[in-house]
Structure 1
Amino acid sequence: MPHAAPPASRTAVHHAHQAERIRAQLANFWGKPIKGLPRGMDLLQAMHLTATGRDVDYAPEALGLYLTMCSNFADAYRTSDVWVAPGGMADRISRHPFLTSDTVVSGNLEDVAPARDGLAYFPTPIRLDDHHPLGGIAWHMEGTGDDLALAVETITTTKLLPTRLPQLLADSLQLPRAPYCPNGIITLYEGVLSGYSNVNLFGAPSPATTLALLLAFWDLRRPTPASNGLDDEHAADEDIVSVPQYTSTGTKNTGRSRKNKNSQRPARKRRIRIIHEPVHTPATDTQAGPAPDASGPTWKDDTLRWEVSAKTQNRCPNPRQHRAIIEAGGECKPVRVRVKEHVNGPKGRDVDPRRTVRIVPDRP
């Protein structure tokens, strides 16, 4: 029988409130209008123009695209699932194979995505090279099958954005009046990856790195949700905290009548998911401990086999020449490949029904 998870700590609850604030503030930023246009319209236009070098006066059709994107982002934030990442996840994401290898095989996004619309808040920001530290990452999915479209936002501290922008653009840009702001947007549709932000000016990762960040979070996220809530097996790996739903003016009771205060209804609640640290995360210790026993069990020795069901994946048609093609400015459009049902892992081992890659003994 799995052990029940302890109640969420005060720090975790504080982070849950912060994540909900970010979700509500970004929903208002993309959806709340100023003089008839969404607040985020100015930022999206500045990102796109600095990335493409085109003048919006010569591309009036782009205005419709901006409005549609702002509306879709706002709608997605209103219904997004929200996660609070543990402190060590930022470092694990930055060292994830998706970030350190030349190619990334994403597979079927609909199968691996924990939610069609989601927001991950990182209390310990993700730091990559000389980019702005990322306090969050959000994704929005539309359509299904071959018509599936994915949009990803990287989120950083608002006050950092003007530090790299030209003075004229920094003075004129309407940034959100909130601690966090998107600094990069990418889209993935029909295998084509597009970016809407100048990497150098906005301090955002490249489109390929942003996609790798998202897939790394999906891969490291624990646990895998059950179809209708958390099951007993995963209940000890994640906390669910209900916090008041924030609006543009904060949280407040909504009264049916100003005269009758007893008729006020409580503020709506939102469920925030707090991910626990994985058990194999080493404990922080300033003193060097004894050298590990080389004769003891290792992850590789304790790894069991796991089953992979039949599905389809997006694969590069030129895996051996992929890096050279990309460096030359070309494009490798992924092709849909059917993967047969099979078993992965070292041969001769037992099959783990939980589909666990690493078996780690409980820490004392």
Structure 2
Amino acid sequence: MEHAQNAERLRAQLADFWGKPVRGLPRAMDLMSSMYLTASGHDLAHNPQAVSVCLSQCTATADAYRTCDVWVAPHSMAERIASHPLVRHPTLIAENLERTAPARNGLAYFPTPVQLNNLYPVHGIAWHLEGTGERLAISVETITATHLVASRLPPQMAQSTKLPLAPYCPNGIYTLHEGRIAGCGNPHLFGAPDPVNALAVVLAFWDLRAPHNRDSEGPDNTDASEDALTVFQHTRPDHGSKKSGRGRKGQRQSPGKRRIRVIREPTHTPAPPVRPADTTDNTVTVNGIPEPNWKEDTLRWGVSMRHQNRCPNPHQHRAIIEAGGECKPVKVPVKAHVNGPKGRDVDPRRTVRIVPARD
């Protein structure tokens, strides 16, 4: 349920980033301007035609996020996408996208991000199909952590680019039309995959989300491998959804809800190979005696100390350190608790105390 709420929050924050005006223009225009500058070497404001195209793209993308279907990918899918033949092959052949796409507007959230070589981790992908037939165009976005987007940009450009006030941000924007795929800006400076690889990630997700029922007709043929969860619609990027309100007649309004599709993990986790009973592979032995298997034989153990030094800003710690700041640890009380696999007995011979760091 937590991942479904995070995916809905990501959808709402990106919809605001692309569509909500700030001083007359959506915040995404700053990102588009930086991408345009890295590709052309010119300021976007000096090209009225390009400004019009970017504004139209912002509007269309915001509308797509407001109506898109949302998926939560399983943890195992990140590794399988990174090793998918479509992603690893240098060329890509995209066939009938209208028939292949699970939805015309879609967003996939990866709780475990996709790692592609030395690029920024891909926490999400989004696509938007516009038109039909020969006039079909597909827009693709790769989404990464916001604090990473500006780290490769020139210092002056990094300071002038206004990014969303949210954990995630688009770092690659691509369009495929009439067999030609193009991206906005220099993807290397934004830690994003090149246009072909970005499209390959989307197609790999489309392929992996439907490992069963491939003979079924229609775009939505994976109900057997997905769980549909209903979460409160996230309407404000910073304060969460407004779960209560009153209409014109004073009647309490019910909060809006959205359907989030969670792909089941076992569907994408290959079964372990069956080994003969007498095999000793991966078994540690000492003097011919097998050592205990940690996963099967470990008991729980008690932790008795009451204090521990911890970071006062755990959610912003990484961003503060990368910006050159410092997080001095503070001593906080920690209740006595038990660690180890749940459902096991407690080992009375093993105790652990959390020792505070020396001043």
Query: What is the TM-score normalised by the length of structure 2?
Result: 0.71
Whichever residue aligns with residue 60 of structure 1, its letter is P
Deviation at 1:29, TM superposition (A): 0.5
The 5 Å alignment of 1:66-105 reads 66-105=54-93
Alpha-carbon distance in structure 1 between the residues aligned to 2:217 and 2:21: 36
Decide whether aligned partners of structure 1 residues 145 and 168 sit closer, same or farther in structure 2, where only a CA change above 3 A counts: same
* Amino acid of the structure 1 residue aligned with 2:161: L
Q: Match for residue 328 of structure 2?
A: none
Amino acid at match of 2:135: D
Compute the displacement of 1:230 (Å). Answer: 6.9
1:20 maps to which residue?
Answer: 8
Contact 1:156–1:183 (CA under 8 A) maintained in structure 2? yes
Contact 2:122 2:143 in 1 (8 A): yes
User: Which residue in 1 is equivalent to 2:258?
Assistant: 270
Q: Deviations over 1:261-298 (max 9, x none)?
A: xx1111111000000125462468xxx984799xxxxx
In structure 2, the CA distance between the partners of 1:292 and 1:152, relative to structure 1 (3 Å rule), is farther
Structure 1 residues 180 and 291: alpha-carbon distance in aligned structure 2, compared to 1, 3 A threshold: farther
2:240 aligns to what? 250
Please state how far the C-alpha of 1:106 moved relative to its aligned partner: 1.6
- Taking the aligned partners of 1:117 and 1:235, their CA distance within structure 2 comes to 18
CA distance in 1, matches of 2:262, 2:148: 27
Amino acid at match of 1:272: I
Counterparts of 2:220 and 2:202, CA distance in 1: 22
Q: Deviations over 1:52-110 (max 9, x none)?
A: 32332442211101100000000000000000000000100000000112322221100
Instruction: Tell me which amino acid in the other structure corresponds to 1:178.
Output: A
Scaled by the length of structure 1, the TM-score of the pair is 0.70
Matched letter for residue 109 of structure 1: L
Compute the displacement of 1:147 (Å).
0.4
* Structure 1 Cα separation of the partners of residues 172 and 191 of structure 2: 8
Quote how far apart the aligned CAs of 1:51 are: 2.1
Please state whether the residue corresponding to 2:111 is helix, strand or coil.
strand
Write the distance in 1 (CA, Å) between the matches of 2:122 and 2:177.
24
Contact conserved, 2:45 with 2:51, CA < 8 A, in 1? no
Higher RCO, 1 vs 2 (CA within 8 Å, ≥6 residues apart): 1
Q: What does residue 145 of structure 1 align with?
A: 133
Q: Output aligned runs, 1:1-364, within 5 Å.
A: 13-222=1-210, 234-248=222-236, 249-252=239-242, 253-257=244-248, 260=250, 263-279=251-267, 281-282=269-270, 290=275
Q: Structure 2, unaligned stretches of length 5 or more?
A: 279-359
- Cα RMSD of the aligned pairs, angstroms, is 2.5
How many corresponding residue pairs? 273
Identify the range of structure 1 (124-133 vs 157-166) with the bigger mean alpha-carbon deviation.
157-166
